[in-house]
């Protein structure tokens, strides 16, 4: 079952239910902000202080960073992480079975968007709600010339506590430490005991988020980079839609095309990043 709902302020979202899971997806940003298998806790973290307002990104779930990751290379007046996460997507298709719901959303170039990014495009986003969560983001170049993109599916995972977790699968991988602006190499598994903001490269196998009573596996295609982020204490108190202790129960592991993993999309061609979390 897929039902269109809205908050009192008119903010619209889709509520999805099938035999194995429930989910909620905002039409703004095609932003998945809830995914939960029946009789289990939520896979995704969502801030209790999230603002569901037009023009403001939701704090939690899976924001789409596109067509650039981080700040724009040449114009810092443009929105951080691009414009997709606050743009209105069209919900164009639903395919349902008893244990799976597949929804497709599209964002197309418009006059306002062309003022920020001059290329014509279509951004197709397919979300499959089943026993596993599958996300497929496809960039189609509708222009007459090639363009390059950086992007990320900025997934906030819900954890029991930072003291209980470690991340496996990025051992010996090179990464850029955004806090020190240094290039480093990962030594052993990742533990979260301070602020972390890293972009890993040459990611070629699934990543495991190992918690006290569960393990989340993140498998990607069309992506050779991954971001691991936790704001920790000081930054958490300064961020919008975050409570001071929220850093304890969330960790972002983002499948990406970032930095050295930037992708060129030729005229008339497509590029797809696919992520399965289970």
- The domain that holds 59 is classified in CATH as 2.70.98.10
pLDDT range class, residue 67, cuts 50, 70, 90: very high
Identify the pLDDT of residue 150.
98
Does the active-site annotation cover 154? yes
Q: Residue 276, CB half-sphere, CA atoms under 13 Å: how many?
A: 8
pLDDT range class, residue 162, cuts 50, 70, 90: very high
Closest CA to 255 of 117, 96, 136: 136
Range of the domain at 39: 2-277
What mean pLDDT comes out for the span 175-181?
Answer: 97
What mean pLDDT comes out for the span 54-68?
Answer: 95
Catalytic residue among 15, 254, 264, 274: 254
Residues 6+ apart with CB under 8 A from 101: 2, 16, 18, 23, 94, 95, 128, 129, 130
Asked whether 209 and 167 are in contact (CB, 8 A), the reply is yes
Distances from the Cα of 244 to the Cα of 49, 197, 232, 271, angstroms: 11, 18, 9, 38
Catalytic residue among 12, 154, 182, 271: 154
Planar angle of CA 242, 247, 252, nearest 5 degrees: 95
Identify the pLDDT of residue 43.
98
Structure tokens at 176: 């850029």
**Domain count of the fold of the chain:** 1
Does the active-site annotation cover 166? no
Is the model's pLDDT at 193 over the cut of 90?
Answer: yes
Identify the pLDDT of residue 76.
86
pLDDT range class, residue 74, cuts 50, 70, 90: confident
Strand residue runs (E) in 38-110: 64-65, 90-97, 100-108
Average pLDDT taken over every residue of the chain = 96
Is the model's pLDDT at 73 over the cut of 90?
Answer: no
Identify the pLDDT of residue 61.
98
Identify the pLDDT of residue 133.
98
Closest CA to 196 of 221, 160, 167, 225: 167
């Amino acid at each position: 079952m897929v039902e269109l709902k809205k908050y009192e302020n008119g903010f619209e979202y889709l509520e999805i239910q099938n035999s194995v899971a429930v989910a909620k997806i905002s039409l703004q940003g095609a932003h998945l902000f809830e995914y939960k298998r029946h009789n289990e806790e939520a896979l995704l973290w969502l801030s209790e202080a999230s603002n569901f307002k037009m023009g403001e990104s939701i704090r939690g779930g899976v924001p789409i960073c596109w067509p650039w990751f981080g700040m724009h290379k040449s114009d810092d007046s443009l929105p951080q992480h691009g414009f997709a996460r606050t743009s209105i997507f069209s919900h164009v298709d639903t395919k349902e079975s008893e244990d799976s719901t597949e929804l497709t959303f599209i964002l197309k170039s418009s006059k306002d968007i062309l003022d920020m990014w001059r290329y014509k495009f279509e951004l197709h986003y397919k979300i499959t709600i089943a026993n596993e969560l599958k996300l497929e983001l496809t960039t189609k170049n509708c222009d007459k010339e090639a363009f390059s993109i950086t992007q990320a599916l900025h997934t906030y995972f819900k954890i029991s506590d930072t003291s209980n977790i470690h991340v496996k699968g990025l051992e010996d991988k090179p990464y850029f430490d955004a806090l020190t602006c240094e290039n480093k190499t990962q030594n052993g598994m990742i533990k979260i005991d301070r602020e972390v903001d890293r972009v890993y490269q040459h990611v070629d196998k699934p990543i495991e988020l190992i918690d006290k009573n569960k393990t989340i596996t993140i498998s990607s295609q069309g992506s050779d980079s991954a971001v691991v982020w936790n704001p920790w204490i000081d930054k958490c108190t300064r961020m919008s839609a975050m409570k001071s202790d929220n850093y304890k129960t969330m960790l972002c592991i983002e499948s990406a095309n970032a930095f050295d993993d930037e992708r060129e999309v030729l005229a008339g061609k497509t590029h797809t990043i696919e992520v399965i979390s289970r």
